[in-house]
A and B are shown apart, each in its own frame.
Chain A
Amino acid sequence: MGGQRRRWSWRFGRNAPPLLLAMLPVLLLSACADGAGASPSRTTRSWPASHDVVDVLLLKNYNTRLVVLSTAALGIAAGLVGAFLLLRKRSLMGDALAHSTLPGIAIAFVVMVSLGGDGKSLPGLVAGAAVAGVLGTLVMLAIRNTTLLRDDVAMGFVLSVFFGLGVALLGMIQAMPQASAAGLESFIYGKAASMVRQDFYLIAGVALCAALAAILLFKEFTLLCFDESFASTEGWPVLALDILLLGLVTAVTVIGLQSVGLILIIAFLITPPAAARFWTDRLSVMTALAAAFGAISGWFGASVSALFPRLPAGAIIVAVTSAIFLASMVFAPNRGILARHLRQRSLKLKVDRQHLLRAAFELLEAKSADSRQVANLPFSQAELLAKRTWTPPQLDRILRKETANGHLGRTGSGDLRLTEAGFGEAARITRNHRLWEIYLVTHADIAPSHVDRDADMIEHVLEAELVRQLETHLQDHSGWIPSPHRIPPSPESGSSPT
Chain B
Amino acid sequence: MNWTDFDTWIVVVGILTAVACALPGCFLVLRKMSMMGDAISHAVLPGIAIGFLLTHSRASVPMFVGAALTGILTTLFTQWVSRFGRVDRGAAMGIVFTTLFAIGLILIVQAADHVHLDPGCVLYGAMELAPLDTVALLGTDVPRAALSIGAVLLANLAIIVALFKEFRISSFDPSLSDTLGFSSNFLHYLLMTMVAVTTVAAFEAVGSIIVIAMLIVPPATALLLTRRLVPMLVIASAVGVLSAFLGHLLAITVPTWLGFDSTSTSGTMAATTGFLFLLAWLLSPGQGLVIQRLRSSPVTDETVAHRQGGND
Contact = CB atoms under 8 A, between A and B. Distances in A.
Interface of A: 14, 17-18, 20-21, 24, 27-28, 31-32, 34-35, 38, 86, 89-92, 94-95, 143, 146-150, 152-153, 155-157, 159-173, 175-176, 185, 189, 263-264, 266-267, 269-271, 273-274, 277-278, 310-312, 314-316, 318-319, 322, 325, 329, 335, 337
A63 B11 CA distance: 50
Contacts of B263: 168-169, 171-172
A337 B84 contact: yes
A160 B98 contact: no
Contacts of B217: 156-157, 160-161
Given A147-B281, A319-B103, A322-B99, A267 B94 contact: yes
Interface string B97-138: 011011101110110000000001000100000000000000
A147 B251 CA distance: 30
Given A160-B216, A161-B274, A267-B95, A152 B33 contact: yes
A207 B263 CA distance: 38
Contacts of B81: 21, 329
A22 to B, nearest CB: 11
B186 to A, nearest CB: 15
A164 B267 contact: yes
B98 A270 contact: yes
B102 A315 contact: yes
B88 A322 contact: no
* For the complex of A and B, 8 pairs with smallest distance between CB atoms: A164-B270, A168-B267, A161-B274, A167-B267, A171-B263, A160-B213, A318-B102, A171-B264
A34 B106 CA distance: 10
B52 interface: no
B88 A89 contact: yes
Contacts of A314: 102, 105
Given A17-B80, A160-B209, A165-B267, A175 B260 contact: yes
B224 A277 contact: no
Interface in B49-86: 76-77, 80-81, 83-86
Given A91-B94, A166-B267, A270-B91, A156 B102 contact: no
Given A322-B95, A337-B85, A164 B105 contact: no
Contact of B268 (A28, A168, A266, A271): A168
B276 to A, nearest CB: 10
Interface in B258-308: 258, 260-264, 266-271, 273-274, 277, 281, 287, 289, 292
A479 to B, nearest CB: 46
B275 to A, nearest CB: 8
Contacts of A31: 103, 106-107, 110
A319 B213 contact: no
A164 B95 contact: no
Given A156-B216, A157-B220, A167 B34 contact: no
11 contacts: A28-B103, A35-B109, A92-B93, A149-B220, A152-B33, A152-B34, A155-B35, A164-B274, A170-B267, A277-B87, A319-B102
A163 B209 CA distance: 7
Contact of B102 (A153, A166, A270, A322): A322
Majority secondary structure, A binding face: helix
Contacts of A278: 85
B90 A90 contact: yes
Contact of A318 (B90, B101, B110): B101
Given A159-B212, A274-B95, A164 B271 contact: yes
Contacts of A18: 80, 84
A185 B107 CA distance: 22
B231 interface: no
Nearest to B250: A168
Given A91-B94, A164-B268, A278-B85, A159 B220 contact: no
B90 A160 contact: no
Contacts of A86: 88, 91
Contact of A92 (B80, B90, B267): B90
Nearest to A268: B98
Contacts of B95: 267, 270-271, 274, 322, 325
A82 to B, nearest CB: 9
Given A149-B224, A164-B268, A35 B99 contact: no
B204 interface: no
A294 B34 CA distance: 27
Majority secondary structure, B binding face: helix
Given A38-B110, A92-B94, A164-B210, 6 more contacts: A159-B35, A164-B270, A167-B266, A277-B87, A310-B109, A315-B105
Contact of B261 (A28, A175, A329): A175
A402 to B, nearest CB: 31
A147 B34 CA distance: 16
A441 B239 CA distance: 62
B120 A95 contact: no
B90 A89 contact: yes
A153 B280 CA distance: 15
Contacts of B262: 171
A273 B212 CA distance: 26
B274 A146 contact: no
B29 interface: yes
A165 B33 contact: no
A335 B86 contact: yes
Contacts of A325: 95
B91 A160 contact: no
A278 B223 CA distance: 37
Nearest to A152: B34
B101 A263 contact: yes
Nearest to B251: A168
Select the residue from A17, A148, A161, A269 with max chain B CB neighbours within 10 A.
A161
B106 to A, nearest CB: 5
B35 A156 contact: yes
B251 A266 contact: no
A31 to B, nearest CB: 5
Contacts of A152: 29, 32-35, 90
A156 B281 contact: no
A172 B105 contact: no
A45 to B, nearest CB: 10
Contact of A164 (B29, B32, B37, B269): B269
Contacts of A24: 99, 103
Contacts of A189: 120
B213 A322 contact: no
Select the residue from A14, A149, A170, A173 with max chain B CB neighbours within 10 A.
A149
A159 B216 CA distance: 10
Nearest to A277: B87
A157 B25 CA distance: 12
B294 to A, nearest CB: 14
A69 B75 CA distance: 35
Given A34-B110, A263-B102, A155 B270 contact: no
A165 B87 contact: no
Contact of B223 (A149, A169, A318, A322): A149
B79 to A, nearest CB: 8
